[in-house]
Amino acid sequence: MTERTLRRVAILGGSRIPFCRSNTQYQDLSNLDMLTAALNGLADRYQLAGLEIDEVGAGAVISHSKDWNLAREAVLSSKLSPLTTAYTVQMACGTSLQAAVQLGAKIATGQIDSAIAAGTDTTSDAPIVFGARFAKRLIKLANAKSLGERFAAFKGFRPGELKPASPNAGEPRTRMSMGQHCEIMAKQWGISREAQDRLAWESHQKGARALAEGFFDDLIVPCAGVSRDNHLRPDSTLEKLASLKPAFDKESGKGTLTAGNSTPLTDGASSVLLASEDWAAKRGLPVQAYLTFAKTASVDFVAGEGLLMAPTIAVARLLKDAGLTLQDFDFYEIHEAFAAQVLCTLRAWESDQYCRERLGLPGALGSIDPAKLNVNGSSLAFGHPFAATGGRVLATLAKLLHQRGSGRGLISICTAGGMGIAAILEKP
């Protein structure tokens, strides 16, 4: 392969539809509907209608079998040129950030000049399927060549076989939900209910302030008559949060995770435009920030590690690659799957023992300035449509750096399956 100089990966901006709690305003929309709306929002904002983008990488976590070609179908339904190539990617809650990293690598090496990373998710339109026994009967029925074979397909049938198998976001290997896993983490790290509630309350306050100041005006495009995220609670109070009952540990009397300090099931979609500097310049589009480093990591949660602790490892490796310290950032975007997850992550980085024994470092990474954390709110305020969160975070951080005029931001996202993904954005 011919040697070539790596190019800088420019982030030009993003567009998303409002995030809505599941089974509310988007209950009649599919992943395809929402992803198409997010792509159209990006096309309108950056004059991409009819334009052939080199590649689109997008995906969903909860999807129907018919969505196997989701990214391409969304492109064909959008204002982008039908000549635009698209592929579907899935990395749980890190899906759209992973798509951006993959596409960014292609831009850096000169394989492509333009790309869109996107994600969508809905649990309002979750796939409801029959159990394996009845499903096999239907397959036999479809392949039957005679009346006798059709009757034979239902030999021994019991009405109970008609009970649908509902989708389950729990971990297949532990039979536990993400919230149950995070509850264990909170106990292991000694994270108090009060600290979780305060982080959740602050997220809503920051998000409401940013919304009122117009920060999201050019990042959110209306969809299905909705113009703002419907989970945001500017009137939330610490007293209201304190009154909520535990949501995952309801028996021990020691549960601390509630509906108020955990993200709700959410529907939504997001998209981000990436490009080479030359491509951006030719179209007269300013570069908001550059995607400079990224790293993934995983933990053995089946053997007892905290399910959502992988970002602590990814960030440590990322800092080593970049030659930076944890304090060398102007903004920190740590995905708020649960308030406890964020607080466990921060405490782990402050722990000399954890950093030495688990991360292989000479000492603790240290603490961060809380004033720089999720400054415009995060998932606790806006909701978390799994595959769409990375795109929301990327677009938010890129705009923050663009407004500041210079600086550096760190992204940390935990995912199902005990994985994590981290990235650095910079504005020279």
Active-site positions read 93, 384, 414
Alpha carbon of residue 9 to chain centroid: 20
292 contact partners, CB below 8 Å, separation of at least 6: 8, 9, 322, 424, 425, 426
- For residues 286 and 305, give the distance between their C-alpha atoms in angstroms, rounded to a whole number: 43
- Find out whether 126 and 167 touch, Cβ atoms under 8 Å: yes
Find the helix or strand (DSSP H, E) in which 40 lies.
helix 31-45
DSSP readout, 290-309?
Answer: EEEEEEEEE--GGGTS-TT-
User: Of 331, 339, 409, 413, which Cα lies nearest the Cα of 371?
Assistant: 331
CB neighbour list of residue 50: distance below 8 Å, 6 or more residues apart:
79, 80, 81
Strand partners, 415: 419
Say if residues 389 and 91 touch (Cβ distance below 8 Å): no
CB 248 within 8 A of CB 53: no
Chain centroid to CA 290: how far? 19
Token representation of residue 427:
């504005």
